[in-house]
Amino acid sequence: MPERRVVITGLGGLCSVGHNMAEIWDGILNGQSGIRRIVSFDPSPFRTQIAGEVRDWDVTDHIDRKEARRLDPFCHYAVVTAEEAIAESGLLDTDLDLERVGVLVGSGIGGIRTIEEQHQKLLNGGPSRVSPFIVPMMIGDMAAGAISIRHGFQGPNWGLVSACATGAHALGEAYHVIHRGDADVMIAGGTEACVTPLAVAGFSSMKALSTCNDEPERASRPFDATRDGFVLAEGAATLVLETLEHALARGADIKAELIGYGASGDGHHITSPPADGNGAVKAIQRGLAHAGISPADVQYINAHGTSTVMNDRIETLAIRTVFGDAANQVAVSSTKSLTGHTLGAAGALESAFCVKSIEDGMIPATFNYQEPDPNCDLDIVPNKSRKVDVNVAINMNFGFGGHNAVVVFRKYNGE
Protein backbone atom coordinates (compact mmCIF):
# COMPACT_ATOMS: atom_id res chain seq x y z
CA MET A 1 0.00 0.00 0.00
CA PRO A 2 1.39 3.47 -0.84
CA GLU A 3 2.10 5.79 2.08
CA ARG A 4 -1.06 7.39 3.46
CA ARG A 5 -0.17 10.82 4.79
CA VAL A 6 -2.42 12.14 7.56
CA VAL A 7 -3.45 15.78 7.84
CA ILE A 8 -5.52 17.88 10.26
CA THR A 9 -8.48 19.73 8.76
CA GLY A 10 -10.59 20.71 11.77
CA LEU A 11 -10.21 21.65 15.44
CA GLY A 12 -12.75 21.94 18.25
CA GLY A 13 -12.14 22.91 21.84
CA LEU A 14 -13.81 23.67 25.15
CA CYS A 15 -12.15 24.39 28.48
CA SER A 16 -11.95 26.87 31.33
CA VAL A 17 -10.32 29.47 29.05
CA GLY A 18 -13.01 29.51 26.35
CA HIS A 19 -16.02 27.83 24.75
CA ASN A 20 -14.53 27.29 21.28
CA MET A 21 -11.09 27.03 19.76
CA ALA A 22 -10.90 30.67 18.67
CA GLU A 23 -11.72 31.92 22.17
CA ILE A 24 -9.34 29.45 23.78
CA TRP A 25 -6.42 30.21 21.48
CA ASP A 26 -6.83 33.96 21.93
CA GLY A 27 -6.90 33.47 25.70
CA ILE A 28 -3.87 31.19 25.64
CA LEU A 29 -1.78 33.68 23.65
CA ASN A 30 -2.82 36.57 25.91
CA GLY A 31 -2.39 34.93 29.30
CA GLN A 32 -6.05 34.52 30.22
CA SER A 33 -6.26 32.03 33.07
CA GLY A 34 -9.35 29.87 33.48
CA ILE A 35 -8.51 28.80 37.02
CA ARG A 36 -10.86 30.03 39.72
CA ARG A 37 -12.43 28.98 43.01
CA ILE A 38 -14.71 25.98 42.42
CA VAL A 39 -18.39 26.86 41.95
CA SER A 40 -19.96 23.53 40.92
CA PHE A 41 -19.93 22.36 44.55
CA ASP A 42 -18.94 23.82 47.92
CA PRO A 43 -15.15 23.40 48.13
CA SER A 44 -14.82 24.77 51.67
CA PRO A 45 -14.01 21.43 53.36
CA PHE A 46 -11.33 20.59 50.79
CA ARG A 47 -7.61 21.19 51.03
CA THR A 48 -7.69 22.38 47.42
CA GLN A 49 -10.56 24.70 46.52
CA ILE A 50 -9.64 25.76 42.98
CA ALA A 51 -9.97 24.24 39.51
CA GLY A 52 -10.31 24.99 35.83
CA GLU A 53 -14.06 24.60 35.35
CA VAL A 54 -16.09 25.07 32.19
CA ARG A 55 -18.31 27.99 33.23
CA ASP A 56 -21.27 29.93 31.81
CA TRP A 57 -21.91 27.18 29.28
CA ASP A 58 -25.22 25.42 28.66
CA VAL A 59 -25.13 22.13 26.80
CA THR A 60 -28.72 22.61 25.62
CA ASP A 61 -27.52 25.50 23.46
CA HIS A 62 -25.83 22.77 21.42
CA ILE A 63 -27.64 19.47 22.07
CA ASP A 64 -31.34 18.66 22.42
CA ARG A 65 -32.32 18.57 26.10
CA LYS A 66 -33.59 14.99 25.92
CA GLU A 67 -30.35 13.76 24.35
CA ALA A 68 -28.27 15.75 26.81
CA ARG A 69 -30.01 14.17 29.80
CA ARG A 70 -28.84 10.75 28.64
CA LEU A 71 -25.18 11.75 28.44
CA ASP A 72 -22.64 12.58 31.13
CA PRO A 73 -20.94 15.99 30.86
CA PHE A 74 -17.74 14.37 29.56
CA CYS A 75 -19.81 13.26 26.55
CA HIS A 76 -21.38 16.70 26.23
CA TYR A 77 -17.94 18.21 25.87
CA ALA A 78 -16.84 15.62 23.33
CA VAL A 79 -19.96 15.91 21.17
CA VAL A 80 -19.82 19.72 21.07
CA THR A 81 -16.10 19.94 20.30
CA ALA A 82 -16.55 17.31 17.60
CA GLU A 83 -19.32 19.44 16.07
CA GLU A 84 -16.96 22.41 15.97
CA ALA A 85 -14.10 20.43 14.44
CA ILE A 86 -16.33 18.77 11.84
CA ALA A 87 -17.89 22.12 10.90
CA GLU A 88 -14.48 23.75 10.48
CA SER A 89 -13.28 20.85 8.35
CA GLY A 90 -16.26 21.12 5.98
CA LEU A 91 -16.45 17.34 6.12
CA LEU A 92 -20.23 17.12 5.95
CA ASP A 93 -20.39 19.42 2.93
CA THR A 94 -19.02 16.61 0.75
CA ASP A 95 -20.28 13.26 -0.48
CA LEU A 96 -18.92 11.30 2.47
CA ASP A 97 -18.56 7.54 2.72
CA LEU A 98 -19.74 7.03 6.31
CA GLU A 99 -18.19 3.56 6.44
CA ARG A 100 -14.77 5.17 6.00
CA VAL A 101 -15.17 7.66 8.88
CA GLY A 102 -14.22 6.47 12.36
CA VAL A 103 -14.17 7.95 15.85
CA LEU A 104 -11.57 7.54 18.59
CA VAL A 105 -12.17 9.73 21.62
CA GLY A 106 -10.83 8.85 25.06
CA SER A 107 -11.38 9.95 28.64
CA GLY A 108 -9.20 9.44 31.67
CA ILE A 109 -12.00 8.88 34.19
CA GLY A 110 -15.18 8.98 32.12
CA GLY A 111 -18.55 9.58 33.76
CA ILE A 112 -17.40 10.18 37.31
CA ARG A 113 -20.05 12.86 37.87
CA THR A 114 -22.79 10.40 36.96
CA ILE A 115 -21.29 7.75 39.24
CA GLU A 116 -21.22 10.14 42.20
CA GLU A 117 -24.74 11.44 41.63
CA GLN A 118 -26.30 8.02 41.06
CA HIS A 119 -24.50 6.48 44.02
CA GLN A 120 -25.98 9.18 46.22
CA LYS A 121 -29.44 8.34 44.85
CA LEU A 122 -28.84 4.69 45.67
CA LEU A 123 -27.89 5.54 49.25
CA ASN A 124 -30.77 7.98 49.76
CA GLY A 125 -33.60 6.28 47.91
CA GLY A 126 -32.63 2.69 47.22
CA PRO A 127 -32.05 0.79 43.96
CA SER A 128 -35.25 1.98 42.29
CA ARG A 129 -33.95 5.54 42.26
CA VAL A 130 -30.92 4.70 40.10
CA SER A 131 -31.24 5.85 36.49
CA PRO A 132 -31.62 3.18 33.79
CA PHE A 133 -29.08 5.25 31.84
CA ILE A 134 -26.34 5.04 34.47
CA VAL A 135 -24.26 2.46 32.62
CA PRO A 136 -24.14 4.15 29.19
CA MET A 137 -23.67 7.50 30.91
CA MET A 138 -20.64 6.46 32.93
CA ILE A 139 -18.64 4.23 30.59
CA GLY A 140 -15.64 5.89 29.02
CA ASP A 141 -16.26 4.78 25.42
CA MET A 142 -19.58 6.58 25.20
CA ALA A 143 -18.06 9.88 24.04
CA ALA A 144 -16.90 8.19 20.85
CA GLY A 145 -20.19 6.32 20.63
CA ALA A 146 -22.28 9.48 20.94
CA ILE A 147 -20.32 11.24 18.18
CA SER A 148 -20.65 8.22 15.90
CA ILE A 149 -24.38 7.85 16.54
CA ARG A 150 -25.02 11.55 16.02
CA HIS A 151 -23.46 11.54 12.55
CA GLY A 152 -23.89 7.94 11.46
CA PHE A 153 -20.13 7.34 11.22
CA GLN A 154 -19.59 3.60 10.71
CA GLY A 155 -15.80 3.29 10.57
CA PRO A 156 -13.64 2.04 13.49
CA ASN A 157 -15.09 3.40 16.70
CA TRP A 158 -13.83 3.13 20.27
CA GLY A 159 -12.51 4.96 23.31
CA LEU A 160 -9.25 4.43 25.13
CA VAL A 161 -7.94 5.17 28.62
CA SER A 162 -4.37 5.98 29.54
CA ALA A 163 -4.90 8.60 32.27
CA CYS A 164 -3.26 11.92 31.35
CA ALA A 165 -1.83 10.53 28.11
CA THR A 166 -5.27 9.57 26.77
CA GLY A 167 -5.77 12.44 24.32
CA ALA A 168 -2.33 12.04 22.75
CA HIS A 169 -2.74 8.27 22.49
CA ALA A 170 -6.13 8.78 20.82
CA LEU A 171 -4.58 10.96 18.13
CA GLY A 172 -1.66 8.59 17.61
CA GLU A 173 -3.83 5.50 17.36
CA ALA A 174 -6.28 7.29 15.06
CA TYR A 175 -3.29 8.15 12.88
CA HIS A 176 -2.44 4.44 12.68
CA VAL A 177 -6.04 3.52 11.78
CA ILE A 178 -5.82 5.82 8.77
CA HIS A 179 -2.24 4.91 7.92
CA ARG A 180 -3.03 1.19 7.70
CA GLY A 181 -6.05 1.84 5.51
CA ASP A 182 -8.94 1.07 7.87
CA ALA A 183 -10.46 4.55 7.49
CA ASP A 184 -10.03 7.69 5.42
CA VAL A 185 -11.16 10.04 8.20
CA MET A 186 -10.94 9.80 11.99
CA ILE A 187 -12.60 12.10 14.51
CA ALA A 188 -10.17 11.90 17.42
CA GLY A 189 -9.52 13.55 20.76
CA GLY A 190 -9.98 13.50 24.50
CA THR A 191 -12.57 14.72 26.99
CA GLU A 192 -12.89 15.10 30.75
CA ALA A 193 -15.52 16.37 33.20
CA CYS A 194 -13.59 15.66 36.37
CA VAL A 195 -14.15 18.60 38.71
CA THR A 196 -16.26 16.65 41.19
CA PRO A 197 -16.03 16.22 44.96
CA LEU A 198 -14.66 12.67 44.74
CA ALA A 199 -12.02 13.51 42.12
CA VAL A 200 -10.86 16.62 43.95
CA ALA A 201 -10.74 14.70 47.24
CA GLY A 202 -8.80 11.85 45.65
CA PHE A 203 -6.13 13.96 43.97
CA SER A 204 -5.95 16.16 47.05
CA SER A 205 -5.37 13.15 49.30
CA MET A 206 -2.41 12.26 47.09
CA LYS A 207 -1.09 15.79 47.70
CA ALA A 208 -0.87 16.16 43.93
CA LEU A 209 -2.90 19.39 43.74
CA SER A 210 -1.80 22.96 44.28
CA THR A 211 -3.15 24.57 47.44
CA CYS A 212 -2.69 28.12 46.19
CA ASN A 213 -6.35 28.84 46.99
CA ASP A 214 -5.87 32.57 47.58
CA GLU A 215 -4.30 33.15 44.17
CA PRO A 216 -6.01 30.66 41.86
CA GLU A 217 -4.77 32.28 38.65
CA ARG A 218 -1.17 31.80 39.84
CA ALA A 219 -1.66 28.27 41.16
CA SER A 220 -0.47 26.45 38.05
CA ARG A 221 3.14 27.54 37.55
CA PRO A 222 5.01 24.90 35.56
CA PHE A 223 8.81 24.85 35.78
CA ASP A 224 8.79 27.58 38.44
CA ALA A 225 10.86 26.81 41.55
CA THR A 226 7.84 27.50 43.80
CA ARG A 227 5.41 25.13 42.04
CA ASP A 228 3.36 23.07 44.47
CA GLY A 229 1.12 20.79 42.40
CA PHE A 230 -1.20 20.72 39.44
CA VAL A 231 -4.64 22.29 39.10
CA LEU A 232 -7.46 19.93 38.16
CA ALA A 233 -9.42 21.06 35.12
CA GLU A 234 -12.06 19.91 32.68
CA GLY A 235 -12.68 20.29 28.98
CA ALA A 236 -12.27 18.57 25.64
CA ALA A 237 -10.68 18.86 22.23
CA THR A 238 -11.44 17.04 19.01
CA LEU A 239 -9.42 16.99 15.80
CA VAL A 240 -10.42 15.85 12.31
CA LEU A 241 -7.72 13.63 10.82
CA GLU A 242 -7.87 12.45 7.23
CA THR A 243 -5.66 11.23 4.46
CA LEU A 244 -3.96 13.90 2.43
CA GLU A 245 -5.55 12.43 -0.70
CA HIS A 246 -9.05 12.63 0.81
CA ALA A 247 -8.51 16.21 1.99
CA LEU A 248 -7.17 17.38 -1.37
CA ALA A 249 -9.96 15.67 -3.28
CA ARG A 250 -12.60 17.66 -1.44
CA GLY A 251 -10.64 20.92 -1.38
CA ALA A 252 -10.22 21.00 2.40
CA ASP A 253 -8.18 23.64 4.22
CA ILE A 254 -5.22 21.70 5.61
CA LYS A 255 -4.04 23.07 8.96
CA ALA A 256 -1.04 20.79 9.58
CA GLU A 257 0.24 17.29 8.98
CA LEU A 258 0.55 14.62 11.68
CA ILE A 259 3.87 12.97 10.88
CA GLY A 260 4.86 10.97 13.95
CA TYR A 261 3.71 9.18 17.07
CA GLY A 262 5.72 7.57 19.84
CA ALA A 263 4.44 5.60 22.83
CA SER A 264 6.12 3.79 25.72
CA GLY A 265 5.56 2.41 29.19
CA ASP A 266 7.64 3.25 32.24
CA GLY A 267 7.30 -0.20 33.78
CA HIS A 268 8.13 1.51 37.06
CA HIS A 269 5.42 2.86 39.41
CA ILE A 270 1.70 3.59 39.47
CA THR A 271 2.13 7.38 39.72
CA SER A 272 5.82 8.34 39.64
CA PRO A 273 8.04 8.32 36.56
CA PRO A 274 11.53 6.80 36.82
CA ALA A 275 14.16 9.25 38.05
CA ASP A 276 16.02 9.15 34.73
CA GLY A 277 12.88 9.85 32.70
CA ASN A 278 13.57 6.77 30.57
CA GLY A 279 9.92 6.16 29.65
CA ALA A 280 9.49 9.71 28.38
CA VAL A 281 12.84 9.49 26.59
CA LYS A 282 11.72 6.37 24.71
CA ALA A 283 8.40 7.95 23.68
CA ILE A 284 10.12 11.10 22.38
CA GLN A 285 12.76 9.09 20.52
CA ARG A 286 10.12 6.87 18.93
CA GLY A 287 7.99 9.84 17.92
CA LEU A 288 10.92 11.59 16.23
CA ALA A 289 12.09 8.38 14.56
CA HIS A 290 8.60 7.64 13.29
CA ALA A 291 8.41 11.18 11.88
CA GLY A 292 11.83 10.78 10.27
CA ILE A 293 13.18 13.96 11.81
CA SER A 294 15.97 14.96 14.19
CA PRO A 295 15.69 17.04 17.39
CA ALA A 296 17.19 20.01 15.52
CA ASP A 297 14.12 20.05 13.23
CA VAL A 298 11.75 20.88 16.11
CA GLN A 299 10.86 24.51 16.90
CA TYR A 300 8.26 23.97 19.64
CA ILE A 301 7.44 21.45 22.35
CA ASN A 302 4.12 21.72 24.17
CA ALA A 303 5.27 20.01 27.36
CA HIS A 304 3.25 17.90 29.74
CA GLY A 305 4.35 20.50 32.31
CA THR A 306 1.90 19.74 35.08
CA SER A 307 3.41 22.08 37.70
CA THR A 308 4.32 19.26 40.05
CA VAL A 309 7.82 19.24 41.47
CA MET A 310 8.79 15.80 40.15
CA ASN A 311 7.10 15.84 36.75
CA ASP A 312 8.60 19.11 35.53
CA ARG A 313 12.11 18.18 36.66
CA ILE A 314 12.04 14.72 35.06
CA GLU A 315 10.42 16.01 31.87
CA THR A 316 13.23 18.56 31.57
CA LEU A 317 15.78 15.77 32.00
CA ALA A 318 14.05 13.66 29.33
CA ILE A 319 14.05 16.54 26.83
CA ARG A 320 17.73 17.24 27.47
CA THR A 321 18.57 13.54 27.14
CA VAL A 322 16.94 13.28 23.72
CA PHE A 323 17.67 16.74 22.32
CA GLY A 324 21.20 17.22 23.61
CA ASP A 325 22.57 20.59 22.47
CA ALA A 326 19.40 21.18 20.43
CA ALA A 327 17.50 21.52 23.73
CA ASN A 328 18.92 25.03 24.00
CA GLN A 329 17.33 26.06 20.70
CA VAL A 330 13.81 24.61 21.05
CA ALA A 331 11.01 26.55 22.73
CA VAL A 332 9.21 24.56 25.45
CA SER A 333 6.04 25.76 27.14
CA SER A 334 3.20 24.48 29.28
CA THR A 335 -0.25 25.82 28.49
CA LYS A 336 -1.48 24.10 31.67
CA SER A 337 -0.37 27.32 33.37
CA LEU A 338 -3.66 28.77 32.07
CA THR A 339 -5.99 25.84 31.45
CA GLY A 340 -5.04 23.67 34.41
CA HIS A 341 -4.62 19.93 33.85
CA THR A 342 -7.51 18.47 31.86
CA LEU A 343 -6.33 14.87 32.41
CA GLY A 344 -7.54 12.71 29.53
CA ALA A 345 -8.33 15.75 27.40
CA ALA A 346 -4.89 17.33 27.81
CA GLY A 347 -3.15 15.53 24.95
CA ALA A 348 -5.85 16.50 22.47
CA LEU A 349 -6.22 20.09 23.67
CA GLU A 350 -2.48 20.68 23.71
CA SER A 351 -2.07 19.01 20.32
CA ALA A 352 -4.62 21.49 19.00
CA PHE A 353 -2.37 24.24 20.38
CA CYS A 354 0.56 22.73 18.49
CA VAL A 355 -1.48 22.86 15.28
CA LYS A 356 -2.45 26.48 15.99
CA SER A 357 1.18 27.39 16.67
CA ILE A 358 2.10 26.03 13.24
CA GLU A 359 -0.87 27.71 11.60
CA ASP A 360 -0.42 31.14 13.19
CA GLY A 361 3.35 31.25 13.78
CA MET A 362 2.87 31.86 17.51
CA ILE A 363 4.27 29.93 20.46
CA PRO A 364 2.20 30.26 23.65
CA ALA A 365 4.02 31.17 26.83
CA THR A 366 4.41 29.42 30.15
CA PHE A 367 2.65 31.90 32.38
CA ASN A 368 3.12 32.46 36.13
CA TYR A 369 6.86 31.94 35.80
CA GLN A 370 8.69 34.05 38.38
CA GLU A 371 11.44 32.07 40.12
CA PRO A 372 13.79 29.97 37.94
CA ASP A 373 14.46 26.36 38.89
CA PRO A 374 17.98 25.21 37.92
CA ASN A 375 16.54 21.72 37.37
CA CYS A 376 14.19 23.09 34.70
CA ASP A 377 16.70 24.99 32.59
CA LEU A 378 14.88 25.06 29.26
CA ASP A 379 13.63 27.96 27.15
CA ILE A 380 10.14 27.83 28.59
CA VAL A 381 8.90 31.00 26.84
CA PRO A 382 8.20 32.80 30.13
CA ASN A 383 5.09 34.95 30.50
CA LYS A 384 4.86 36.30 26.96
CA SER A 385 3.85 34.44 23.82
CA ARG A 386 6.40 34.53 21.03
CA LYS A 387 6.13 35.00 17.27
CA VAL A 388 8.09 32.20 15.58
CA ASP A 389 7.80 30.47 12.22
CA VAL A 390 6.97 26.96 13.50
CA ASN A 391 7.58 24.16 11.04
CA VAL A 392 7.52 21.23 13.51
CA ALA A 393 5.78 21.09 16.90
CA ILE A 394 5.43 18.15 19.25
CA ASN A 395 3.10 17.45 22.14
CA MET A 396 4.12 15.27 25.07
CA ASN A 397 1.82 13.67 27.62
CA PHE A 398 2.49 11.22 30.44
CA GLY A 399 -0.09 9.41 32.57
CA PHE A 400 -0.46 7.51 35.82
CA GLY A 401 0.38 3.88 35.21
CA GLY A 402 3.52 4.87 33.32
CA HIS A 403 1.80 5.68 30.01
CA ASN A 404 3.75 8.00 27.69
CA ALA A 405 2.68 9.44 24.34
CA VAL A 406 4.24 11.93 21.92
CA VAL A 407 2.67 13.26 18.71
CA VAL A 408 4.57 15.20 16.05
CA PHE A 409 3.03 17.83 13.75
CA ARG A 410 4.53 19.58 10.74
CA LYS A 411 3.48 22.49 8.56
CA TYR A 412 1.89 21.28 5.34
CA ASN A 413 3.96 22.62 2.48
CA GLY A 414 1.53 21.94 -0.35
CA GLU A 415 3.36 18.93 -1.73
The DSSP H or E segment spanning 6 is strand 6-15
State whether 72 and 149 are in the same domain.
yes
257 within domain boundaries = no
State whether 165 and 280 are in the same domain.
no
pLDDT at site 393:
98
pLDDT at site 271:
85
Domain with residue 334: its CATH number is 3.40.47.10
Alpha helices in 252-308 (DSSP H): 278-291
Residues of the chain short of pLDDT 70, as ranges, are 1-2
State whether 325 and 385 are in the same domain.
yes
1 within domain boundaries = no
Q: Which of 199, 224, 249 is the last residue of a domain?
A: 249
State whether 370 and 303 are in the same domain.
yes
Candidates 19, 151, 179, 304; catalytic one:
304
Sign, CA dihedral 22-252-388-225, equals positive
pLDDT at site 265:
96
Q: Which of 217, 249, 281 is the last residue of a domain?
A: 249
Candidates 75, 164, 194, 212; catalytic one:
164
State whether 90 and 154 are in the same domain.
yes
State whether 29 and 177 are in the same domain.
yes
Annotated catalytic residue 376: no
255 within domain boundaries = no
96 within domain boundaries = yes
By residue range, what is the domain housing residue 229? Answer: 6-249
DSSP state of 233: B
289 within domain boundaries = yes
pLDDT at site 1:
47
Q: Which of 249, 284, 307 is the last residue of a domain?
A: 249
Cα distance between residue 38 and residue 95, in whole Å: 45
DSSP strands (E only) in 244-385: 256-265, 300-302, 331-333, 362-363
**For the chain, the helix, strand and coil percentages under 3-state DSSP, each to the nearest 5:** 40, 20, 40
* Counted domains in the chain: 2
CB contact at 8 A, 272 and 34: no
pLDDT at site 415:
75
Annotated catalytic residue 164: yes
State whether 267 and 245 are in the same domain.
no
Nearest CA among 293, 140, 306 for reference residue 208: 306
Candidates 76, 169, 290, 341; catalytic one:
341
State whether 218 and 271 are in the same domain.
no
pLDDT at site 109:
96
Annotated catalytic residue 304: yes
330 within domain boundaries = yes
pLDDT at site 414:
85
